[in-house]
Amino acid sequence: MDWKQYEKEISDYFRSEYPDATVIPDAKIKGKYSKIERQIDLLIEGEMAEFRFRAVVDGKYRNTKIDVNDVEAFMGLARDVEADKGVMISTEGYSSAAMNRAYYDDSGIELDVLNFKELSQFHAFGAIPYSGNYGVILPAPFGWVIDGTRRKGMVATLYQRGRTLESAGEAREWMYTNFWSKDETASDIESLCKLQESYLMTMPGTEIEFQDGPIRKGAKTKLRLVRVPSYPTPEYTGFVEFDKFIFFCVLFTPMELETKNLRKLRYIMRCVLPLQVRHA
C-alpha cells in the first residue's frame, strides 16, 4: 500500500465513523497563535448532542516509529487550530516516550495515538447498552473502548484501548455505567443520591461533595465525588436525568490522571442520549 492509498483508507474510515460531520482531507486553517495557514491531513467538524467539535487527524506514513517530538509537534498544531480532539495514526507504531507524552498530557485536547492496524478499533459513537425498557447511545471517549459484557450492577464498562477490564482494574483506571428507572424510591437525581449515600456513609471516613455537571437542554446533570479511605481511588459519578430513567457513569482514576479522565466523564455526560427499548 502506498501513501495515497494509506491516506484514502484513513479518510474513508473516518467518514464512516462521522457520517453527519464534514470531513476534509488536506485542509488548511489559519493558526490562532502562529497566524499562518496550517496544513491538516484530515479535518473533521460536526456536532454531537448540541456540542460543536473539531478533530484533526495526522497520518504518519513512515518506516520508523513516531517519537516524542512528533507527538509534541502534533499537539502544538492541534492547539493552534483550536481542535478539541486529535488523532495520530502511524504505520510503524510509537516510541514509549511518545506514548507516555500522549497518554499523560493534561491539556484541554483529547489526544489519541494508534497504529494503522488498530484503526478499526477507533469508535466515534461507541455502543448502545440497555437494561429493561431503557438504553442509551453511549459515546466512547478518545482512546477508550466500551465493553458491553453484562456484570452485576453494570450494563457496560469502559477502559483504555489495549487493556482488559482486569488490567484496567489493576491500573485503577476504568468506568462503569448503569441505569435507575424512576420510581417512588428515587424519582430524580437528588433522591437517587440520597438513597446511594445511605450506604456510602456507613463506611468510616466517607467524604462526599458535588459539582455542577455539563449544561444540557432537556436533561439535568450532576457530578459527585466520593472519597472513602478504604477505596484505592476517589470515585466520581456522573448523573444524567432523562424523562423515565437516570443514567449514571462511575469513574475510578489515579490522581495523576484525574483532570484528563474527568474530561472523559464530562464528555460522556454531555453526549449520552436516551433510548426507549421496545421488546417484541
136 lies in the same domain as 270: yes
What does the pLDDT read at residue 245? Answer: 96
What does the pLDDT read at residue 121? Answer: 62
264 lies in the same domain as 150: yes
Q: Which of 89, 121, 153 is the last residue of a domain?
A: 121
70 lies in the same domain as 92: yes
Total domain count for the chain? Answer: 2
Q: How many CB atoms lie within 10 A of CB 80?
A: 18
267 lies in the same domain as 167: yes
Q: What is the pLDDT along the chain (280 residues), one digit of tens a residue?
A: 777 888 888 888 888 878 888 999 999 999 999 999 999 999 999 886 567 889 999 988 888 888 999 999 999 999 999 998 888 888 888 899 988 888 887 776 777 777 777 776 665 557 889 888 899 999 888 778 899 888 999 999 999 887 899 999 999 999 999 999 999 999 999 999 999 999 899 999 999 999 999 989 889 999 999 999 988 899 999 999 999 999 999 999 998 889 889 989 998 999 899 998 876 6
Q: Which amino acid is at 230?
A: S
198 lies in the same domain as 105: no
Q: Which of 86, 121, 156 is the last residue of a domain?
A: 121
What does the pLDDT read at residue 276? Answer: 84
184 lies in the same domain as 271: yes
Cell of 150: 453484562
Regarding pTM above 0.85, the answer is: no
Place of cell 464530562: 266
Read out DSSP for 106-167? Answer: -SSSEEEEEEGGGGGG--SS-B--EETTEEEEBPPPTTEEEE---BTTBSEEEEETT--HHH
78 lies in the same domain as 164: no
What does the pLDDT read at residue 279? Answer: 67
What does the pLDDT read at residue 52? Answer: 81
Name the residue range of residue 247's domain: 130-276
Q: Which of 65, 94, 121 is the last residue of a domain?
A: 121
CA angle 76, 172, 269 (to 5 degrees): 65
201 lies in the same domain as 115: no
Query: 113 with 122: CB under 8 angstroms?
Result: no
CATH code (residue 46) = 3.40.1350.10
